[in-house]
Amino acid sequence: MGRLTTHVLDMSSGKPAAGLKVELWRIGLRPELVVTVGTNRDGRVEGAVLEGDSFKAGIYELRFHAGAYLRGTGAKMEEPAFLDVIPIRFGIADVNQHYHVPLLLSPYGYSTYRGS
């Protein structure tokens, strides 16, 4: 079966984003919080964010709590932060594949892609 993984890199420091809170939501008529996890010192979530019987086709959203993480690093930011919670909405079509959704982060921008 497939799985969903993620990691976060802090582009402003050039290091992995350790201790960043990540929520996974299943998007339907009412969004449903599936799991809340945090990144380790390598900026990765330990294991898969979603796998096994819970890994189903559908629309999902990863919410990266970037503002809290950046404040914790001492980054100079405006209040309110330009980026606070970054939502990445994506679809899982094939439950037999590995979906990897990384985030490259800075106080004023971000990017993502489907990784491997």
pTM: 0.96
Query: If you ran DSSP here, which 8-state letter would residue 52 be given?
Result: G
What is the 8-class DSSP label of residue 46? S
User: How much is the pLDDT for 116?
Assistant: 86
Digit-by-digit pLDDT tens for the chain (116 residues) are 899 999 999 999 999 999 999 999 999 999 999 999 999 999 999 999 999 999 999 999 999 999 999 999 998 889 999 999 999 999 999 999 999 999 999 999 999 999 98
Q: Which residue has the tokens 């970037």?
A: 66
Q: Tell me the residue ranges of DSSP E strands in the chain.
A: 3-5, 8-10, 15-16, 21-27, 32-38, 50-51, 58-65, 85-92, 98-100, 103-106, 109-112
Residue 1 has what pLDDT? 81
